[in-house]
């Protein structure tokens, strides 16, 4: 099984959130974990918010970023999927950042792990397997 991991789900895994076990179970049974390369900037930005709010130190955030990148086996080049992601974003009136995950999952017949309810609803509409 191939899994596409989005940052919302990764944060639950890294910071032991309420859905940690659900996501960890899928990650450990996956044959391969993928994410669009935008995952890296989104992960950095999310953890920057924790550092900026002084919830975590910059060093702690850096470690979470490294650990979060380690959850992914391969990053999909955004240049290969941007057009499809853009058009689905327009059609579904949803952020292109999030739709990159859906398109990555769809193109690879992967299960998308997300904690984003709106994205999960779009995945259902697009017949993309999703664990929310």
* Cα 130 to the center of its chain, rounded Å: 11
pLDDT at 110: 98
Mean pLDDT, residues 55-81: 98
CATH classification for the domain delimited by 2-131, as one of 3.40.50.2300, 3.40.50.300, 3.40.50.1010, 3.30.2320.50? 3.40.50.1010
String of DSSP letters for 107-120: HTTPEEE---HHHH
Q: Give domain limits for the chain.
A: 2-131
pLDDT at residue number 17: 85
Regarding pTM above 0.85, the answer is yes
pLDDT for 66 beyond 90: yes
Phi-psi region of 54 (alpha: psi -120 to 50; beta: other; left: phi over 0): left
- Confidence label for 51 from pLDDT (cuts 50, 70 and 90): very high
């Amino acid at each position: 099984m191939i899994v596409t991991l989005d940052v919302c789900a990764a944060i639950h895994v890294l910071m032991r959130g309420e859905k940690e076990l659900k996501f960890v179970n899928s990650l450990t049974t996956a044959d391969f974990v993928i994410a669009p390369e935008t995952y890296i900037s989104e992960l950095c930005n999310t953890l920057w918010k924790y550092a900026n709010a002084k919830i975590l130190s910059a060093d702690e955030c850096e470690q979470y970023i490294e650990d979060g990148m380690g959850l992914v086996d391969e990053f999909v080049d955004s240049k290969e999927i941007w057009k499809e992601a853009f058009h689905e974003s327009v059609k579904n009136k949803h952020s292109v950042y999030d739709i990159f995950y859906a398109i990555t999952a769809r193109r690879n017949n992967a299960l998308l792990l997300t904690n984003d309810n709106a994205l999960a609803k779009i995945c259902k509409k697009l017949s993309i397997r999703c664990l929310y």
